[in-house]
Structure 1
């Protein structure tokens, strides 16, 4: 985190090379107000003034921090979350140079996408974290339905699909202190006004964009506004323990239930299974070849049919 925040300050001409060499061991919290200040101006494409206009939320997105380019919005969100940022604050960047996914996968996020992270204080234990990811997936899917995408689906645990191709990824991370969850960072990346050939060749076959699906470029600021509104609705359900309603909405849009998959769990445990459903805490329920049922709490599922 230290290096990424230093690089952000350097790109924004807030630190010189000479100054950087002198503060290598300085507590970066001293620079948190500068990082916040940088994020308060409208940028060329993403503009707080347009997102906040008529934004129908009570706290999600009321504080926006927008950047030209960061390594990862989740990293900036983590940094600000431990330095007095407000609940429901949203960090957005026009570009990311080291975006991260599950299992540490990294890539660059070019201009034209929606790359953001939300800081939450949900007061939950670790067992509920998977439900935050599922709830976010529902919010993204509902947002895409609002802009005219037909039948967006959610692939467990963190991808949004259109016609079998990925259009969005979600990364939920906890900020902890003394084994207690202080904040939860919800990172969302939506391939909006991009062309598929902008992605690495190995990803192009399984990826799509809103521009490709709708046939035109859309308004990124409007897309963010609509998503923040849907996110607050689903987060209110979460806060009031409406977990079954969240799961009901998720099941309606599931891309995974009813399919044969290769389950890839941590520590290289791979096996084929049939997806039966999803449990009350967000674990995938699968039937293995020998007929036994298994809960998949973390990992990846590769669709085989």
Structure 2
């Protein structure tokens, strides 16, 4: 994490490479202030002033830091969260050089996408973490609906789909003590105005962009503002333990329920099954071909034709 902060300071020409080489362990209190100041500089495409204009949130995005380029917004968010940054702080970057997906996969993050992370401090235990991911998916889908995207769907556990192609991924990471969550970092990556040709060939077959779906570029700042508003609303449902309403909104937009999938669980042999639904904890329920039901707490479900 410290290497990421050093790289940011070097890229912004705050410190020379010679000085950085002499830094042993970064003094977190001193450097978190520098990192925040960098996030207040004017950027070319994504602008804090545009996002904040007419924004109706009370705490999500109240602290907003925007960068030209970072390795990963989740890394910056995690660093700031460990300095006790405020609940609802949002970190955005126009580009990421080391974007992260689930299970350590790389995430292509060129200019034109929306790459952001939110720091939240829920009063909940570790078992509720999957519900935060599901709630974030609902917030993304509702935001896309509001800008004219038809029928965005949510593929368990963390992908937003349009017409069967992925347009957004969500990466949720927690900082916990014992079973209690101290901070949650929610990374959201949306392929907004990216040119499909910018993506590797293998990704072009399975992903889409909002620009491709709408036939025009979307207003990235407006979409971020709408998403942050939707996220705050659904996060309040989570804070008040109104989990059933979150699950109801998720089920209405589910891409997975009823489909045949290949289930890949950590340290287990993959198997085929049909998706039955999700339970009150956000756990996926599948029916294996022998008729037995199984819970899938973590892993992947690959849709099969």
- Quickly name the TM-score band, shorter chain normalised: over 0.9
d(CA) in 1 for partners of 2:75, 2:5 = 8
What does residue 192 of structure 2 align with? 192
Q: Distance in 2 between matches of 1:261 and 1:84?
A: 41
* 1:28 shift after superposition: 3.8
Match of 2:55 in 1: 55
> Using the alignment, how far apart are the partners of 2:50 and 2:25 within structure 1?
39
In the alignment, what sits opposite 1:2? 2
- How far apart, in 2, do the equivalents of 1:28 and 1:201 lie? 40
Structure 2 CA distance, aligned partners of 1:226 and 1:211?
Answer: 17
Query: How far apart in 2 are the matches of 1:84 and 1:25?
Result: 19
Aligned to 2:276: 276
Shift of 1:289: 1.3
Residue equivalent to 1:102: 102
Shift of 1:200: 1.1
Give the aligned partner of residue 35 of structure 1.
Answer: 35
Residue 301 of structure 1: SS of its match in structure 2?
A: strand
Equivalent residue, structure 2, for 1:121: 121
1:220 corresponds to which residue?
220
Tell me the equivalent position of 2:64: 64
In 1, Cα distance between equivalents of 2:139 and 2:182: 23
Q: Name segments (4+ residues, structure 1) moved above 4 Å.
A: none
CA apart distance, 1:179: 5.2
- The reply on whether 1:202 has 2:194 as its aligned counterpart is no
Partner of 1:238: 238
CA RMSD of aligned residues (A): 1.0
Partners of 2:291 and 2:264 lie apart in 1 by: 18
> With structure 2 as the length reference, what TM-score do the two structures score?
0.98
Q: Residues of 1 paired with 2:25 and 2:55: CA distance?
A: 41
Question: 2:277, 2:284 within 8 Å by CA — same for their partners in 1?
Answer: yes
Per the TM alignment, residue 197 of structure 1 is displaced from its structure 2 partner at its CA by: 1.5
Deviation of the 1:23 alpha carbon: 0.7
Aligned with 1:109: secondary structure? Answer: coil
Contact 1:165/1:206 (<8 A) preserved? yes
Deviation track 1:267-290 (CA, whole Å, cap 9, x = no partner) reads 142100010110110010000111
**Equivalent residue runs for 1:132-281 within 5 Å:** 132-177=132-177, 180-281=180-281
Q: Deviations over 1:6-62 (max 9, x none)?
A: 100110111111111111334344311000000012210011111001101111111
Report the Cα distance in structure 1 between the residues aligned to 2:232 and 2:107, rounded to whole angstroms.
Answer: 28
For residue 178 of structure 1, report the CA deviation from its aligned partner. 5.1
Q: What SS does the aligned partner of 2:69 have?
A: strand
Question: Secondary structure in 2 aligned to 1:173?
Answer: strand
In the alignment, structure 1 residue 81 sits paired with structure 2 residue 87: no
Shift of 1:177: 3.7
Q: d(CA) in 1 for partners of 2:287 and 2:132? A: 25
Partner of 1:285: 285
Instruction: Work out the CA distance in 2 between the residues paired with 1:2 and 1:58.
Output: 31
Distance 2:177 2:54 in 1: 36
Q: Report the Cα distance in structure 2 between the residues aligned to 1:158 and 1:108, rounded to whole angstroms.
A: 16
Greater Cα offset, 129-138 or 23-32? 23-32
Question: In the aligned structure 2, how far is the partner of 1:84 from the partner of 1:299?
Answer: 31
CA distance in 2, matches of 1:22, 1:179: 38
Corresponding residue SS for 1:269 = coil
State the partner residue of 1:22: 22
Contact 1:41 1:48 in 2 (8 A): no
Structure 2 distance, partners of 1:11, 1:268, is 42
Distance 1:246 1:140 in 2: 13
In structure 2, do the counterparts of structure 1 residues 183 and 249 end up closer, same or farther at CA, with 3 Å as the change threshold?
Answer: same
Q: Per the alignment, in what secondary structure is the counterpart of residue 98 of structure 2?
A: strand
